[in-house]
Amino acid sequence: MCGIMAYVGDKDLNSVLMAGLWRLEYRGYDSSGVASIMDGELEVRKALGRLMVLQDILSDRPIGGGAGIGHTRWATHGEPSDQNAHPQVDCSGKIAVVHNGIIENHYSLKEELIKNKHIFQSNTDTEVIAHLIEENYNGDLKESVLKSVSKLRGSFAIAVIVSSEPDRIVIYREGSPLIVGLGNNESLAASDIPAIIDHTRRVIIMSDGELAVLRKDSVEFYDKEGKRIEKKEKEIKWSPTSLDKGEYAHYMLKEIYEQPEVIERNIALRIEDGEFNLGESFHFSPHDLAHLTDIVIQACGTSWHAGYIGKYLFEEFARIHTEVDISSEFRYRNPVMGGETLVIAVSQSGETADTLAGLREAKAKFLKVLSIVNVRGSTIARESESTVYINAGPEIGVASTKAYTSQILQLYLMALYLSKLRWALEASSIDEKLKGLIEIPKKMRTILNKADSIKQIAEKFKDSRDFMFIGRGINYPSALEGALKLKEISYIHATGYPAGEMKHGPIALIDKNSPVVAIATQSSVYEKMLSNIEEVRSRGARIISIATEGDKRIKDISDEVFYIPPCGENVSPILVALPLQLLAYYSAVLNKRDVDRPRNLAKSVTVE
């Protein structure tokens, strides 16, 4: 994880680097730092804590010069501290490195470097890179970086400066994202596009094994052998205004409220005159997909929950056996998969290390690989044979909201598309389902207009410290997601469970006043859910039910009920997500948590 920002040009380094780091803060925020070359000397400022601390330091002691690098950190090796913050510096104090990723062989490299009299100041794997470059430095930073990275194992993106070459920054990518911005008499590099978009819309995406030398009036690209290469630039069309919070108190709240529009836009994009259009990056032909025997969905966290919902959809609509796996498990379990298996990677960021590794694992087995991704041009998207974009727009809040519901929508459409190819459902039934979708954005708005009643529920339960979320069928993954949302941003313990499993163990946790969030919308398992609610209620649980408007029975067995508009069972997870997101949001706000940047987390998990 971590965010890298680099700038060479005439603007004030303090403001350009800080503005970029603010935009990258979602990638990590336990410490930060910047470095530049001022009058031939390397200057470094570092701070433990949120970026505000670094900003205050820079107001007192600004850096200067023409080229600077910055970093916002999510600790992997070494606890968050001033010492372990990046930039990391070599023994001579002339070379500074910022790094995103992990150097797997740092231990053996460090031992060797110590034997060669290098003195280490931090507990990071990154410091090894600074000393290695020092060891290899021969007056040409590009050459010494190339020589050094050839010794590194792991996944990393780095930006390096040296005091004897003050007009340039050298960057290198191997497994962690890095983009270059081509400005007007200025050049930039960053871990993600939002960091540079205020300066330029001309962007080049680095691939693994590539190095770039940034000067203010030029950027040169090289492969790992040092051979010059040409790279294609692309123009970013989306607007930076979508990166602001606007009238909302938090990005998360803004992103929750954007969902009806995201779903509406995607329905319009994906269904044209009753025909499916899965987008320009969907390259599979009907022939490729008509004979699939299995689907394996692999993803992490919230994207895994969306994938889990996808399993129900593929099996129900397309009658294809579907497995869903957590990527960090999938990648190491040597799964048995045949030639007609489609492996789907679901990811908001498109950079999640485990999901990417799972995708590579599937490719190594010569399987068809599809990704469902939000960030265009991300590594997972680029390495997949086909990609269906989530089109949710930039998601800044660490907790995924709008990407999740749009992932479900894409899986829903994909399942209907496969159903059509395989004649699994009648054409009229597919049409009916597509018509039902059109109503969903309006229903989402109806739910959001009642956000206050969720806030009132959150107020009543704000001091509870253990929640249970239960659901069945396609809303079992919704229960998992509701629990994850709550715990990750409010730090209140929450567990999601299939309601039918409660009596096999977890019901022992229920005592007087235990809050249980029960997803009991109208469905084929509604009656079963009512029995499961009774089971926990009779043990004293306080029930918060998510039910369907018009349900007269639910309020008799619930302490609180939030009603969603009627909808088809298979599309209900999109609507159910909203009250669960709002419950998590208000619980976090009432507990005074940092909603957009919860502790210990980062938006893009580029380490395994």
Q: Residue 181 CB, nearest distance to ligand F6R (Å)?
A: 22
Between residues 440 and 605, which has the closer beta carbon with respect to ligand F6R?
A: 605
Mask of contacts with ligand F6R, 391-410, x by CB under 6 A? --------xx----------
**Min separation Cβ 299 and ligand F6R, Å:** 6
Please, what is the minimum distance in Å from the beta carbon of residue 258 to ligand F6R?
15
Identified catalytic residue from 142, 433, 487, 603: 603
Tokens of 119: 């003195």
Is residue 297 a contact point for ligand F6R (CB under 6 A)?
A: no
- Alpha carbons within 13 angstroms on the beta-carbon side of residue 22 total 12
Distances (CA, A) of 27 to 127, 365, 398, 455: 20, 32, 8, 29
Contact status: 605 vs ligand F6R (CB under 6 A): yes
CA distance 135 to 113: 8
**Quick count: other Cβ atoms within 10 Å of Cβ 423?**
10
Given the complex with ligand F6R, which of 352 and 514 has the nearer CB atom? 352
Core vs surface per residue 338-364: b (16+ CB within 10 A) or e: eeebbbbbbbbbbbbbbbbbbbebbee
- Closer to ligand F6R by Cβ: residue 303 or 548: 303
Q: How far apart are CA 265 and CA 388, in angstroms?
A: 14
- Please list every residue from 347 through 386 that binds ligand F6R, using CB under 6 A: 347-349, 352, 355
E-strand stretches of 287-356: 294-299, 321-326, 341-347
The answer to whether 567 is a known catalytic residue is: no
Find the shortest distance in angstroms from Cβ 380 to ligand F6R.
8
What is the number of other CB atoms lying within 10 angstroms of the CB of residue 76?
A: 19
* CB 444, min distance to ligand F6R, A: 19
DSSP-based three-state secondary structure for 546: strand
- The 10 Å Cβ neighbour count of residue 503 is 12
Contact 570, 526 (CB under 8 A): no
Q: Which helix (H) or strand (E) holds 459?
A: helix 451-460
Residue 126 lies near ligand F6R (rule: CB under 6 A): no
Three-state DSSP class for residue 101: strand
Task: Work out whether 300 is an interface residue with ligand F6R (CB under 6 A).
Answer: yes
DSSP state of 358: H
The SS3 call for residue 535 is helix
CB of 417 to ligand F6R, least distance (A): 22
Selected catalytic residue, list 2, 11, 94, 254: 2
Three-state secondary structure string covering 40-95: CEEEEEEEECCHHHHHHHHHHCCCCCCEEEEEEECCCCCCCCCCCCCCEECCCCCE
- Hey, what's the torsion of the CAs at 106, 206, 192, 46, to 10 degrees? 40
Which residue lies nearer to ligand F6R by CB, 430 or 479? 479
Binding mask 515-544 for ligand F6R (x = CB under 6 A): ------------------------------
Stretch that binds ligand F6R, among 208-216, 240-248, 298-306, 583-591 (CB under 6 A): 298-306
Question: How many amino acids of this chain bind ligand F6R (CB under 6 A)?
Answer: 14
- For ligand F6R, which residue of 163, 176, 303, 341 counts as binding (CB under 6 A)? 303
Quick check: 488 binds ligand F6R (CB under 6 A)?
yes
Residue of 84, 122, 302, 391 interacting with ligand F6R (CB under 6 A): 302
How long a stretch of residues is the chain?
A: 608
Q: How far is the CB of 408 from ligand F6R (least distance, A)?
A: 13
Please identify which residue in 33, 260, 301, 393 interacts with ligand F6R, judged by CB under 6 A. Answer: 301
Judge whether 94 counts as a catalytic residue: no
Where along the sequence are the contacts to ligand F6R (CB under 6 A)? 300-303, 347-349, 352, 355, 399-400, 484, 488, 605
Point out the residues that are catalytic.
2, 603
